[in-house]
Amino acid sequence: MKKLLSVMLALAMLLSAASFAAADGSAEINIFISGPEYADAIRALIDAYKEVAPDVTINYETTQNDYPTLLKTKINAGECPDIFATTSGKEISVYKDYSYNFAGTPAADALLDSVKTVMSIGDEVHGFHYVSNFFGIVYNKAIFEECGIEFPTTFTELAADCEIIAAKGYQPFSTGFAEWWVYKHIFQHFLDAASDDPADLVAKFQAGEVKMSDYPMLYDNFFNFIDLAVKYGDSKPLETDLAGEESALGTGKAAMILGQGAWVENDLLSIDPEIQIGFNGYPVSDDPAQCQVISGSDQALRIYKDSDSLEATMDFVNFWLTSDYGKTWFADVCNVIPTVKDAKVPATAIATQGNELTAEKGAGAVAISYSTDSFHQTFGEIMQAYVGGTITKDEACAQIEQKWVELEGSAE
């Protein structure tokens, strides 16, 4: 037994010595981000960069499960990654001690304005991203055609259309209410419609200065929309998750899915390559102009302020966002809508329609970025309780107001 133990220890030490030996060299960049679905694309990017800067080693680590917890653990253990991920907007203030302001660099200048605004505090640019998302209602054009209707841009039309669709034997909505983040995606459209300055509105909520009932768009329209979705949606609304929604739309069972956006297109196509994907905004009221899509980045990558390899990291980011390779990488390798100017846009159905709608009616701001996911997760839970019927609308509003202050009230 003892002999076995010592042999094993010796073996283990040999192995670890071997791995240590390989670790020298010049600059080393540690990337730890979420979004493992883009891992292949990012690895391709890293390989391409190797040809430009061969003596830079990039360690790329990604995980989705528990990412924020892991990031916090690493930061606290003194291992803040050189590039790390958070949500855009408000979460900057949470990580401010660690994120680098790279205003004035080519990378910062290359960012689209809509992206830059949610990455900045004043003039300081604290983040970037490689995915500019579209948020809206994804629907099945074939079903709408069969029912002889156009996509509704007012709430009254929507309610009427639901009847027609249901009469034809289809399920108007698949709602995905099991997921907490579906609610924030829907709610942000109503925030945008409720005020000309949604950022300021959210700030007021965080300070406890206003109530939901002060804003009919939130108090009435939003809840009416949710009620409609429950009425014409899945029979067990709190059980459907993202996979369920995709399955329902992809197999032609449901006409529309809620709380989603550009990211579902690939999965839908893999279920049914022939599916005709339609994309539009949320009919929040009876004013068609308010039925807008939302575009922008809800995630942000940040650079570690006190990194040992700050310069090398900055070079890499500049390459990512401004080089010729970088500019085509978004569409060709990663298949996402780029966040920088002059870059190629992929020809996906949602991107194309999203851009058309934006050109026509403008796009809403990414209002979810005005709060952190801490709040959003609790918000999702409160709405689930409402959908499940365990609390009333007023109770839900009261809890929302309270939690907004409790979780985000004292932030900088």
- Cα distance between residue 143 and residue 250, in whole Å: 12
Least Å from the CB of residue 62 to another protein = 7
Q: How many residues does the chain have?
A: 412
Taking CA atoms, 267 is separated from 112, 246, 262, in Å, by 27, 7, 10
Where in 12-78 does DSSP place strands (E)? 28-33, 57-62
CB 259 within 8 A of CB 185: yes
Residue 197 φ/ψ, nearest 5 degrees: -125, 80
Nearest distance in Å: CB 347, another protein: 19
Residue among 77 and 359 whose Cβ is closer to another protein: 77
Minimum CB separation from another protein for residue 159, in Å?
24
CB of 363 to another protein, least distance (A): 20
Q: Which of 344, 336, 340 is nearest to 318 (CA)?
A: 340
What's the closest the beta carbon of residue 317 comes to another protein, in angstroms? 20
The CA distance from 392 to 398, in Å, is: 10
Q: β-strand 171-174 against 254-261: which pairing, if any?
A: parallel
Least distance between another protein and beta carbon 114 (Å): 20
- Could you tell me if 230 and 240 are in contact, meaning their C-beta atoms sit under 8 angstroms apart? no
What b/e string do you get for 361-384 counting C-beta neighbours within 10 Å, with b at 16 or more?
bebbbbbbbbbbbbbbebbbebbb
302 near 127, Cβ under 8 Å? yes
Gap between the Cα atoms of 20 and 349, Å rounded: 48
- 8 A C-beta contact, residue 387 and residue 226: yes
Distance CA(40)–CA(329), nearest Å, equals 12
Amino acid at 103: A
Nearest approach, Cβ of 77 to another protein (angstroms)?
4
Distance between CA 398 and CA 379 in Å, rounded? Answer: 11
Rounded least distance, CB 309 to another protein, Å: 15
Q: How far is the CB of 148 from another protein (least distance, A)?
A: 27
Minimum separation from the CB atom of position 154 to another protein (A): 29
Q: Looking up tokens 């109530």, which residue turns up?
A: 211
- Pick from 227, 226, 269: nearest CA to 249: 269
Q: In what helix (H) or strand (E) does residue 110 lie, and over which residues does it extend? A: helix 106-110
Could you give phi then psi for residue 81, rounded to 5 degrees?
Answer: -70, 155
Q: How far is the CB of 244 from another protein (least distance, A)?
A: 7
CA distance 295 to 281: 11
Token reading at 14 = 């040999």
Cβ-based nearer residue to another protein, 163 or 394 = 394
Amino acid identity of 93? Answer: S
Q: Which residue has the tokens 């156009």?
A: 150
Q: Output 186 or 264, the one with its CB closest to another protein.
A: 264
First to last CA, the chain: 59
